[in-house]
Structure 1
Amino acid sequence: MDRRLFLAASLGSLAIPTLAHAQRPPMRTRWKVRASEGFDALAFLGPLAGGELYLPYYEADANAFAPRLAAAVRSDIPALSKEAERSGFGLLGPNLSVLFSNGSDADLPTLIASVAAPDARLFRAYRASPYWNENDWRWFVGVAPRLKALFEAMQAAGFAAFRDERAGAVTRRIAELDRDLADYDVIRLHEKLTGRVFDPLIEVVLLQFCKPHGIKVQGQTFLQAADWNTPITVRNAAHEMLHPPVPMDGSAAQAALAVLAQDPLIPRVVADHDPKWGYTTLEGLLNEDIAQALDQLISEALGVARNPADRWRNADDGIHVLAGAIYGMLRHDRWIETGGSIEAWLAGAVRAGRFDPGRLHAVAAQVLERPVNALWPLA
Structure 2
Amino acid sequence: MRFLDALPRLSSTIIFCCLVPLILTGHSEIDAYKESNQEEIRIHYLTDWQIEPSFKYDALCFLNTLTADSFYLKHYQSEFEEFEKRLKKPVKKALSNLKRKIKDEKRSIISVFFCLYFSAVDDKTIDDMLMTIQNSESMHKNLKKTPYYTDGGWRLYESVRNDLKTALIFLKEIQFESYWKKYILPKVNETIRQTRRELPKYDITGEVEAHLGFKLPSQKITAYILYFSRPHGIKITGTRYLTNVAWPLEVVLRNAIHEMMHPPYDLASDIELKKVIYLLKKDEFLMDKVLNHNPSYGYNSFETFIEEDCVQALEQIINEKLNIEAEAHRRWKEADEGMHVFAAALYSVMKKEKFNQKGEKFRDFLIRMIRSGELAPGRIKIIYDNFYAQGS
Task: Give the TM-score range, shorter chain.
Answer: 0.7 to 0.9
Instruction: Please report the TM-score for the alignment, with normalisation by the length of structure 1.
Output: 0.87
Gaps of 5+ in 1: 1-17, 372-379
Question: Does the 8 Å CA contact 1:49/1:78 hold for their aligned counterparts?
Answer: yes
1:270 counterpart residue number: 290
2:178 counterpart residue number: 161
CA distance in 1, matches of 2:5, 2:67: 49
1:332 is the counterpart of 2:357: no
1:122 is the counterpart of 2:139: yes
1:228 is the counterpart of 2:247: yes
TM-fit CA distance, 1:179: 2.9
Alignment of 1:32-43 (within 5 A): 32-43=50-61
Alignment CA distance shift 1:70-1:265 (3 Å): same
Between Structure 1 and Structure 2, how many residues are aligned? 353
Question: Does the 8 Å CA contact 2:95/2:163 hold for their aligned counterparts?
Answer: no
Alignment of 1:1-379 (within 5 A): 24=7, 25-27=9-11, 28-88=46-106, 90-119=108-137, 121-167=138-184, 168-198=186-216, 199-249=218-268, 250-335=270-355, 337-369=357-389
Residue identity over aligned pairs, in percent, reads 25
TM-fit CA distance, 1:62: 1.3
SS of structure 2 residue aligned to 1:219: coil
Task: Tell me which stretches of 4 or more aligned residues in structure 1 moved more than 4 Å.
Answer: 18-23
The residue identity in structure 2 corresponding to 1:263 is D
Q: Deviations over 1:286-333 (max 9, x none)?
A: 100110000001111111101111001111111111001111111112
CA distance in 1, matches of 2:51, 2:334: 28
Could you tell which deviates more after superposition, 70-79 or 343-352?
A: 70-79
TM-fit CA distance, 1:360: 3.2
Alignment CA distance shift 1:23-1:176 (3 Å): closer
TM-fit CA distance, 1:252: 4.7
CA distance in 1, matches of 2:4, 2:147: 37
Q: Deviations over 1:245-291 (max 9, x none)?
A: 11123245313323211112111211122212222221111100110
Alignment CA distance shift 1:157-1:227 (3 Å): same
1:11 counterpart residue number: none
CA distance in 2, matches of 1:252, 1:320: 24
CA distance in 1, matches of 2:6, 2:364: 28
The residue identity in structure 1 corresponding to 2:242 is L
SS of structure 1 residue aligned to 2:10: coil
The residue identity in structure 1 corresponding to 2:10 is P
CA distance in 1, matches of 2:119, 2:358: 35
SS of structure 2 residue aligned to 1:265: helix
TM-fit CA distance, 1:117: 0.9
CA distance in 1, matches of 2:374, 2:3: 31
CA distance in 1, matches of 2:56, 2:351: 40
Could you tell which deviates more after superposition, 229-238 or 178-187?
A: 178-187
Alignment CA distance shift 1:156-1:196 (3 Å): same
Question: Does the 8 Å CA contact 1:238/1:295 hold for their aligned counterparts?
Answer: yes
CA distance in 1, matches of 2:253, 2:170: 36
Q: Deviations over 1:29-57 (max 9, x none)?
A: 11100011111111000110011221111
The residue identity in structure 2 corresponding to 1:84 is I
CA distance in 2, matches of 1:115, 1:213: 24
Question: Does the 8 Å CA contact 1:98/1:216 hold for their aligned counterparts?
Answer: yes
